[in-house]
Amino acid sequence: MRSSYVLPILFSLLWLAPLAARSESSEIPAPLEATELQALPDSAARSSQVAEVEIPADLWIRIRRGFAMPDLQVDLVQDREQWYAARPDYIERMTARSSKYLYHIVEELERRGMPTELALLPFIDSAFTPQAVSSARASGMWQFMPRTGKDFDLKQNAFRDDRRDVLASTRAALDYLQRLHRMFGDWHLALAAYNWGEGNVGKAISRNQRAGQALSYTDLKMPAETRHYVPKLQAMKNLVADPQSKGIHLPPIPNHPYFQTVPLPRDMDVALVARLAEVPLEDFKALNPSAHRPVLLAGGTSQILLPWDNAEIFERNQAAYEGRLASWTVWVAPKNMKVLDAAKKVGMSEDEMRSVNKIPPRMLIKAGSALLVPRPSKQENDVTTKVADHGQLNFAPEMILRKQIIKARKKDSLASVAKRYKVAVDDVAMWNKLSVDSPLKTGQKLVLMLPSKGKSKAKKSSQRRRG
């Protein structure tokens, strides 16, 4: 069990280490020399020594002390400040969400020696909503696109999306920002590239170079979204730096960890994990947003996040729990299948199969797809790491056949017609109430049942012949 006296001291020591490297931006006074301490009264000497190790109770103070980026001074910054200041309820909601994640982000930034302004970036990207999905398919607190996420080892499979994972996405975002800063040598350009893409920023810089123009962030031609991106961050920085002068109330955030990691030993239902941890289900999902299914698969999710005081509760309750841990498992489709057929195979209704696996209408399940299905009561083995970590769910459109009338060409047979339209000769014979070897006359009308795309192909072929 942790001690309420030991942990604050430990956090103090851990926090001061990175702070010492930035003494020039810190408000903590430099240590006094021994001779200076001797010259002070005992009470003053003790006060000076205490000031050396004093840490702020409020995380906002710690963030302010780590500001290291040059300020951007453009009209858009003031415009965004006014926009935020006019929406105090919005600021309150974002701050409440951020309180679960900010301490971890600040810790990571300080460990890497990065400006703590970057901890405010999820306010701009996602309003600190880990489940956020943009219209362009960017996902998570740090808004990673699918391809960029894969470039930074954020797995996206049938059972989890690491773009939403608090630890994994923060690691990837800071890796990416560091790489962009090394590439452009400027934090404003790095942020523009984070929003717009490094290739686009590189091209904009090259255009200005060729034209003999300046190369700073404010000098580049870029889309409106990117043009507003850094001013939004600067505006949020200004609000955090001096909320009172902006008429903003920032609810205090304690300067200590909100969560800790806990091993997941077996496949377990999400609802059960939350119950054993004595955490509201929505709070558990907020800390573990990458798990978008009703079950956590230990083969792919080796650890979970729990509020600090609930980690020990979970481990104690889990050790004493003797019931069923998981009511779901994974079944891999052996071939392309209709949803109804797959559902019957595993004892589910079609509606349940579609709902649990988010299967769109008019789709076939492709061979090799990993589907969530009820776990047999006697099944003891958990889902394998290979399936849990790499399982994909893929679909193919169902074939919608449409009636089409064609005319037989000279020397055509049912076999040649079937080959040309990629259908079975027996089907052509059946559709036209003929035998397979029935002769055809030039211009004879035949009925074909073709996929909808087949009609357009045939039409184009006919047009080419007429031309």
| CATH number for the domain harbouring residue 434 | 3.10.350.10
pTM of the complete model: 0.76
The percent of residues in the chain predicted with pLDDT above 90, rounded, is 76
381 and 406 fall within a common domain: no
82 and 195 fall within a common domain: yes
Count structural domains, the chain: 5
Least confident range of 36-50, 100-114, 163-177, 298-312: 36-50
Q: State residue 461's pLDDT score.
A: 41
The whole-number average pLDDT for the span 14-23 is 40
* Angle formed at CA 342 by CA 421 and CA 326, multiple of 5 degrees: 150
118 and 214 fall within a common domain: yes
Assigned domain for 294 exists: yes
Shortest CA distance to 142 belongs to which of 167, 159, 127, 125? Answer: 125
> CA-to-CA distance for 167 and 175, rounded, in angstroms?
12
Assigned domain for 253 exists: no
CA-based radius of gyration for the chain: 31
Assigned domain for 106 exists: yes
Assigned domain for 15 exists: yes
More confident position, 201 or 403:
201
Q: State residue 23's pLDDT score.
A: 36
Assigned domain for 252 exists: no
The whole-number average pLDDT for the span 43-67 is 73
415 and 441 fall within a common domain: yes
95 and 209 fall within a common domain: yes
- pLDDT tens column, 264-294: 999 999 999 999 999 999 999 999 998 889 9
Band the pLDDT of 2: cuts 50, 70, 90: very low
Q: How far is CA 109 from CA 8, 52, 64, 162, 174, in A?
A: 20, 22, 13, 20, 8
Amino acid at 349: S
Assigned domain for 407 exists: yes
Q: 412 lies in which domain range?
A: 401-466
> CA-to-CA distance for 373 and 358, rounded, in angstroms?
12
Q: State residue 74's pLDDT score.
A: 93
Amino acid at 75: D
Assigned domain for 251 exists: no
> Cβ–Cβ contacts within 10 Å for residue 333, how many?
20
189 and 98 fall within a common domain: yes
- pLDDT tens column, 439-466: 999 999 999 988 876 444 444 444 433 3
444 and 460 fall within a common domain: yes
Is residue 251 scored above 50 in pLDDT?
yes
Domain closes at, from 193, 225, 246: 246
The whole-number average pLDDT for the span 20-37 is 37
Averaged confidence pLDDT in the chain: 87
Q: State residue 391's pLDDT score.
A: 95
106 and 232 fall within a common domain: yes
Domain closes at, from 352, 377, 397: 397
The percent of residues in the chain predicted with pLDDT above 70, rounded, is 85
Shortest CA distance to 63 belongs to which of 6, 10, 122, 141? Answer: 122
The whole-number average pLDDT for the span 175-204 is 97
Is residue 96 scored above 80 in pLDDT?
yes
142 and 226 fall within a common domain: yes
Assigned domain for 123 exists: yes
Q: Which two tokens stand for residue 198?
A: 């490094």
73 and 196 fall within a common domain: yes
Q: State residue 53's pLDDT score.
A: 52
Is residue 5 scored above 90 in pLDDT?
no
Phi, psi dihedrals of residue 395, rounded to the nearest 5°? -125, 160
409 and 393 fall within a common domain: no
48 and 127 fall within a common domain: no
More confident position, 30 or 75:
75
Long-range contacts of 415-418 (CB under 8 A, 24+ apart): 417/446, 417/448
